[in-house]
Homo-oligomer: A and B are copies of this chain.
């Protein structure tokens, strides 16, 4: 039980399921900056992690093992656990009365589960017949706030997306693997000049199908139909659902790059109406959750190294296509652990908390 001195009894009780993971630890940081939203905060994880103490809002809270009883009295439960764990436990939490905000892929395409980005479709949180609200995939989230405001302005008809995805999208094992490989390639000048020489020195590949240090790997997720990866299909299907555009044309190529955290995307967006470059830049600059950094004459554009650890979607390199007045090309960066995961989950949970508190 929380002994947090600021916890008010009239505030909702929150459970964080998956509190010990990479996204979970960012969730606890974010919760610590929002002191007055919740009353009690319960931290839940697998039995293996039960008993550990984690810091949230400045107090130490003991982690409890996932079990049906932990959801008794919980108003909102944020889940960041594997798909199979969510599939089993989110309905249990919902049955016990919690509104579940789930960051797995288990429910995102369920017609009875809204897929919510608070800047784009906040009204959807109320349509939750199963008591579950889904948080989108990190790659989709890294672009959708910016694309959403442009869609509102010009009417989106097509997206062509190429991603530059960070190692932490593959979890802590991905991060550790990248750091390990970097240590092994550093100082070896001449490496990366002969086929396979990098494979010979990087050591273990971790969760990646090829070396990530000094390399890029055109794969993320699992194989789906006709050569598409699950990550690429998520960008297509989730963008369609969030924007309410079931016929939106989407082609994505998802590529892992040797960056620790923050996904980048090169986006070619085609609209129903002609776009104006300056107007599009102004719309992006004024949009909540978006920062425009677009001064190539001063070499100012977003890069992962400058964006990591921040909340917004950063947009730069905004150009109207030279050959299609309805198309814009842009480059976006978003922290895949924050807006791409923990932050958006927390934002959705706060919409629910506000509704329960009102």
What is the interface of chain A, defined by CB distance below 8 A to chain B? Answer: 158, 160, 162, 164, 179, 182-183, 185-187, 189, 191-199, 209-211, 214-219, 223, 226-229, 236, 247-253, 255, 257-261, 264, 266, 268, 277, 294, 296-297, 299, 301-310, 316-324, 327, 329, 331
Q: Are A223 and B160 in contact (CB under 8 A)?
A: no
Complex contact B268–A268 (CB within 8 A): yes
Residue of B nearest to A216 (CB): B164
A319–B232 Cα gap in the complex (Å)? Answer: 11
Partner of A193, one of B194, B216, B252, B260: B260
A211 to B306, CA, bound (A): 10
Contacts of A316 in B (CB 8 A): 218
Of the listed residues A189, A209, A227, A308, the one surrounded by the most CB atoms of chain B closer than 10 A to its CB is A227
- Contact for A329 among B164, B179, B219, B251, CB less than 8 A: B251
| B268 and A251 form a contact (CB under 8 A) | yes
A208: nearest chain-B partner, CB-CB? B299
Alpha-carbon distance between A247 and B324 when the two chains are bound, in angstroms: 11
**Contact indicator A228/B268 (Cβ below 8 Å):** no
* Cross-chain contact B199 with A255 (CB below 8 angstroms): no
Contact A259 B216 (CB under 8 A): yes
User: Given A198-B305, A259-B214, A187 and B183 touching (CB < 8 A)?
Assistant: yes
Q: What residues of chain B lie closer than 8 Å to A252, measured between beta carbons?
A: 329
Identify A309's interface contact among B193, B227, B236, B323, CB under 8 A.
Answer: B193
